[in-house]
Amino acid sequence: MDKDKTPIYEIYVMELPWQLDEKKFPICGIRERVGFYYDKEDAVRAVEENWCDLQDHYAQAAEIRKIYPGLYPLSSRSEYWYYLWNQQEERFEAAKRPKFEGWGCDY
């Protein structure tokens, strides 16, 4: 494994909905980085199968980010994957990019 070129797949869970205040700035819910994997398949399985109770009674969404080593690493939007919690099925399911994404609430 070449550590300079090998990405990790970070997993975030978050609370929804995120809203905008009167000045159109985001009111962010809880967003937490919960871990990472070196293989995308492992990250996807962890989210979809709700490993270690990722949903934990508040998270209505999850995100997987493909990140390369470095400070403030950049990724293209095609390297982000989103999931929404399905309460009836008790699992996260793949979803389209949420409207709230991209506001930078996670830092």
User: What is the tens place of the pLDDT at every residue in 71-92?
Assistant: 877 666 568 899 999 989 999 9
**Cα 10–chain centre separation:** 7
Question: How far apart are alpha carbons 38 and 2 in whole angstroms?
Answer: 12
Taking 80 as the threshold, does the pLDDT of residue 67 lie above it? yes
Query: Does residue 47 lie within any of the structural domains?
Result: yes
Q: Is residue 38 part of a domain?
A: yes
Residue 46 lies in a domain: yes
What global pTM score does this model have? 0.77
Q: Which two tokens stand for residue 21?
A: 């205040």
Q: Is residue 106 part of a domain?
A: no
Which run of H or E residues covers position 42?
Answer: helix 40-48
Predicted pLDDT at 45: 97
| Structural domains counted in the chain | 1
* 104 within domain boundaries: no
- Domain annotation covers residue 29: yes
Whether 107 is covered by a domain: the verdict is no
* Average pLDDT of the residues in 7-22: 79
Range of the domain at 29: 8-95
How much is the pLDDT for 70? Answer: 80
State residue 4's pLDDT score: 65
